[in-house]
Amino acid sequence: MSQTLLISGPPGCGKTTWILNQIQSHPGPCGFLRLVGYPDEGLLQARDGGIDLVWLQDQCPGLLDLADPDKALAPRAAKLLALIELPQFQPPTDSGLAGVDRRAIPQLEALHLSPDAHLHFGRDAALPHQDTLDFSSLQAWGRNLAGAVWDPASLSSFWFELVNGAYGDVYRAKALMNLPDGRAFFCNWMVSREGSQFLPLQTLASPDGRPQRLSRLVVQGKDLDPAAIEVTLADCLLSDAVLELQQAPLRQRKAPPHPSPAA
Amino acid sequence: MTHAVISCLHANLAALEAVLDDIDQRGITTITCLGDLVGYGPQPNEVVNLVRERAIPSCQGCWDEDIIEGLNSCECSYPSQLAERRGHQAHQWTAEQLSEENKAFLASLPMSLRRDRLLFVHGSPNSQHEYLLPDMDAFAALERVQTADADTLFCGHTHRPYVRELRDGVIRVRVQAPTDPQSPAEREMALPVRRIVNAGSVGEPRHGNTHATYVIHDEATGNVEIREVPYDVERTCRAIVEVGLPPVFAWRLRHGFEYAERADDASHVCER
Amino acid sequence: MARWALVSGLQGDLALYEAIQRDLRQLARVDTLFVLGDLIGPDRDANALLARLQDPRRGELAPQCIYGWWEEQLLAERGYRGERRADPLRQQFGQAAVEALEQAVDPGHLAWLAALQFGFIELDCALLHGSSAAVDDSLGPDSSPLLLLDRLTRMDVNRLFTARSGQQFRLELSGGGIESQVRDLEGQRQHQQSVPQRQVIGIGAGVRYTLYDPGSDRLDFLVAGSRPQQRARGFA
């Protein structure tokens, strides 16, 4: 029997990690949808820009994209586990399905999705307990990094500065970043957890120019300084000439390299 | 005689003033500076002027050299593209600010200073760019001091102060010559006791907090004291932003991180 | 395992090079020839040798060359080393030697010489003309063990092959250690370090050359053109 779950919670509470665990332990087919989320008073939702979907599809080959309208009307596979992620700062006022944010309903209906259950981080015991933060006022900033390739050591320095407050009070940062050797990393940091995650994607690009896949940085916090971030980004990203210099020897080697992670 | 050794001032006037006050309060009149008077910090002329006014003997650091000669350190001295770009930005700004007179002063600084069996250098006797880190190979460290014909080597450049004593060293070798391959000659070399003293950094500490560091050496007892001196960090941070250097320099200084990270490879020497 | 032949100091002597190649054809299991610098010198025209090194004859081992002290002097004098000129050569042997060196090499070979490397790293061995410190570093059996250990440490290798001194020798670091005490703002720590089991090997120059078997660590110090009784003089 198929099941459709709506998972909501504030930024950085662990929604995507929980969903990844569900998909990996579900024997049948799985689908995923990330709803945009709705700004509450003074709190801006960060535009994820597809980071979660790309990361989950990389980790779980065959994962269905439930946002694809062409497939919305197609018959759903038996035993499909459909997981819908909804960023939501405040806990729902009503329990169960009655608590689903009304603003999300038209979007769900358009995609022919009707949740069987709604779980919210911090409310439902079925979800792991997290230290949920008090977000009194939150800015969000995102940067499309399509085609951008990082100097690995510079990425490490930039990320260190970013999450330690050099560009404002960052609560949450996540990104997909390209390295010159064809690897990409899912970078993930939240103020409530120790340390950053740098998880390599399974999918490698060939070291042949700029990769075509999605690459994006999303930051949430207070007093963010996007102009200063841009200045640092410009000093971290590789020019065509330097990229070619680093990729040319890799192309001569047949096998893809496996150096240690960037950070 | 008790004397003070300072290093890596990096155009940080507030830090230099605080350290000189600390030295003066102790009644110490002999001070030696191990270079890098400028670079990254906001007051290059003020710091050079103060060193000149106080007539503090200095050797030349890698930054002092680069400001005069133009950037000629190899790219490998920067651990990342970001560090390199920021270094170049700081270099360009500093070169524009420094008066011709102060540039000439930096150009006149010697690579090393010697007083009896004490040798003063910026990086190592081999190069202003070589890092003598506290955990570098003990034999290689001893070789630096021994080849330079000194008992105690004072260096800076790493921005982390330490005192290292190398003793009870011995190396045994077996030598085989083609004329007599079956009976190799054995010999043994007893190594002398030598010391390396790193003076840390006045203007850009990276030992975990923001305090300026320097060392005091008592020649009579051989004792070395590593001094930590708090200073008005915010004064320097404000000046960084006011003069138009990247605000991230102020953030790094305020948190006790170096402006650009050090090179990771302790033994690396630029092939220039 | 196949052996390496290590040669240096040919100084333009094609006849000597051909004699060594003849030796190598007669010796078993030599599959690699390293020429550790000083291909040229002021005493004879080096063009024929340089042409042969770049274009080996059939049946000869193809040489793998690095530059040595004489190449360094010529390249410096011809502007391939920035501001530096052949001042060490000038000081040691005079202006006439500088001119003789320039005479000995056709300018057409300069680009090939300039492309030669400082050294090779093969397995855990560094193959150099002088040392890891400099091309003119002359290491011999009487050099300070501390200095030799430093040169090994700089390259992080277990065997350092050097040619500059012209001597043939094997110097093995066989024991010893050092005590190190570090005090910093975090406290004080003590560390005892042992002398690593490493070797510096002088390969000789000119007629004196060396065979090395990396599999067994066996060395044979040879003289070009002598009969293979030298094999009996080798030692492991």
CATH assignment of the domain containing A204: 3.30.1220.10
CA distance A49 to chain B (A): 26
pLDDT greater than 80 at residue B72: no
Supply the pLDDT for residue B178. 84
Residue A65 located in a structural domain: yes
> Closest Cα of chain C to B19: distance in Å?
17
Q: Average pLDDT over chain C, rounded to whole?
A: 92
Rounded CA gap, A69 and C216, in Å? 69
Q: Is residue A40 part of a domain?
A: yes
Angle at C85 between CA C99 and CA C113, to 5 degrees: 75
More reliable by pLDDT, A98 or A155: A155
Rounded distance between C-alpha atoms, residue B122 and residue A142, angstroms: 44
Q: Which of C201, C128, C144 shows the shortest CA–CA distance to C169?
A: C201
Instruction: Dump the DSSP string for chain B.
Output: -EEEEE---TT-HHHHHHHHHHHHHTT--EEEE-S---SSSS-HHHHHHHHHHTT--B---HHHHHHHH-S-S-GGGSSSHHHHHHHHHHHHHHHHHS-HHHHHHHHT--SEEEETTEEEESS-SS-TT----TTS-HHHHHHHHHHTT-SEEEE-SSS--EEEEEEEEEEEEEEE-TTSTTS-EEEEEEPPPEEEEE---SSS--SSSS-EEEEEEETTT--EEEEEE---HHHHHHHHHHTT--HHHHHHHHTT--SSPPPS-TT-----
* Average pLDDT, integer, range B223-236: 96
Q: Which residue has the higher pLDDT, B177 or B202?
A: B202
Q: Which of C67, C118, C146 to mutate to test the interface with B (most CBs of B within 10 A)?
A: C146
**Which site among B75, B77, B78, B82 would you substitute to test the A interface, given the most A Cβ atoms closer than 10 Å to its Cβ?**
B82
Q: How much is the pLDDT for A37?
A: 81
Closest chain B CA to residue C81: B272
pLDDT score recorded for residue C163: 97
Q: What CATH number is attached to the domain comprising C194? A: 3.60.21.10
Query: Which residues in chain A (159-188) have CB-CB distances under 8 A to chain B?
Result: 161, 164-166
Residue range of the domain that includes A54:
3-120
Q: Residue B266's pLDDT is what?
A: 36
The answer to whether C39 and C12 are in contact (CB under 8 A) is yes
- Chain B residues whose CB is inside 8 A of the C145 CB are 171-173, 187, 189
- Looking at residues A22-33, what average pLDDT do you find? 90
Higher pLDDT, C151 or A99: C151
Q: Is B205 within a domain?
A: yes
Structure confidence by residue, pLDDT tens digits, B242-261: 999 999 999 999 988 866 65
Pairwise pLDDT comparison (B271 vs B54), residue with the higher score? B54
Q: Which residues of B touch C183 (CB under 8 A)?
A: 162-164, 226
Q: Number of folded domains in chain A?
A: 2
> CB pairs below 8 Å between A and B: how many?
40
Instruction: Report d(CA A5, CA A89) in Å as an integer.
Output: 18
Determine whether the interchain pair A151/B81 forms a contact, defined as Cβ–Cβ distance below 8 Å. yes
How close B249 gets to chain A, by Cα (Å)? Answer: 10
Give dist(CA A122, CA A125) in Å, integer: 8
A153 and A246 co-located in one domain: yes
- Cβ distance B134 to C182 less than 8 Å, yes or no, reads yes
**pLDDT the model gives residue A104:** 86
Contact with chain A for residue B247, Cβ under 8 A: yes
- How many domains does one find in chain B? 1
Looking at the structure, do residues A34 and A103 belong to the same domain, yes or no? yes
- Quote the percentage of chain A above a pLDDT of 70: 91
State chain A's mean pLDDT as an integer. Answer: 85
Q: Do C145 and B147 touch (CB under 8 A)?
A: no
CATH of residue A113: 3.40.50
Say whether pLDDT at A261 is over 90.
Answer: no
The pLDDT of residue B183 is 80
Per-residue pLDDT of C65-80, as tens digits, reads 999 999 999 999 999 9
Angle between the N-to-C axes of helices B62-69 and B81-97, in degrees from 0 to 180, rounded to the nearest 10: 70
Q: Do B171 and C183 touch (CB under 8 A)?
A: no
Q: What is the pLDDT of residue B177?
A: 86
Cβ contact B80–A153 (<8 Å): yes
C146 to B171: CB separation less than 8 angstroms, yes or no: yes
Q: Which of A93, A120, A147 is the last residue of a domain?
A: A120
Same domain as A210, residue A110:
no
Task: Write the pLDDT tens digit of every residue in C79-95.
Answer: 998 888 999 999 999 99
Q: What are phi and psi of C202, to 5 degrees?
A: -90, 125
Asked if residue B14 belongs to a domain, the reply is yes
**B13 confidence band (pLDDT: 50, 70, 90):** very high
At residue C57, φ and ψ (nearest 5 deg) are -80, 160
Q: At what angle do helices A15-25 and A51-59 cross, to 10 degrees?
A: 30
Mean pLDDT of all residues in C118-130: 94
Task: Supply the pLDDT for residue A112.
Answer: 86
Provide mean pLDDT across the span B44-50. Answer: 98
Is residue B92 a part of any domain in this protein?
yes
Is residue C82 classed as helix, strand or coil in its secondary structure? coil
Q: Cα–chain-centroid distance for residue B23?
A: 18
pLDDT in tens, A34-92: 988 887 767 777 777 788 888 999 999 889 988 887 776 677 777 899 999 988 888 88
Which tokens is C223 given?
A: 């003289």
Domain's final residue, options A62, A87, A120: A120
What integer is the mean pLDDT of C185-201? 95
**For residue C228, is pLDDT > 90?**
no
The answer, yes or no, to whether C and B have at least 3 beta-carbon pairs within 8 Å is: yes
Note whether A25 and A116 are same-domain residues: yes
Q: Are residues A143 and A114 in the same domain?
A: no
Q: Is the pLDDT of residue C233 over 70?
A: no
Mean pLDDT of B53-76: 80
Q: Which domain holds residue C12?
A: 3-233
Note whether C176 and B170 are within 8 A (CB): yes
Residue among B139, B161, B189 whose CB faces C150 most closely: B139
Same domain, A61 and A16: yes
Give A105-116 pLDDT, tens digit per residue.
888 888 888 899
Q: What is the pLDDT of residues C152-178, one digit of tens each?
A: 998 889 999 999 999 999 999 999 999
Confidence at residue C201, expressed as pLDDT on a 0 to 100 scale: 97
Question: Which ipTM score applies to this complex?
Answer: 0.89
Mapped onto helix, strand or coil, the DSSP state of residue A109 is: helix
CATH number, domain with residue B78: 3.60.21.10
Q: What percent of chain A has pLDDT over 90?
A: 39
B107 pLDDT above the threshold of 50 = yes
Give the end of a domain, one of A90, A120, A150. A120
Whether B175 maps to a domain, the answer reads: no
| pTM attached to this predicted model | 0.79
For A198-212, how does the pLDDT look when each residue is reduced to its tens digit (9 = 90+)?
Answer: 999 999 999 999 999
pLDDT score of A160 more than 70: yes
Query: How many separate domains does chain C show?
Result: 1
In-domain check, residue B188: no
Task: Supply the pLDDT for residue B269.
Answer: 37
Which residues form the domain of B129? Answer: 2-161+194-254
A111 and A201 fall within a common domain: no
Query: What is the CB-side half-sphere exposure of residue C104 using CA atoms within 13 A?
Result: 26
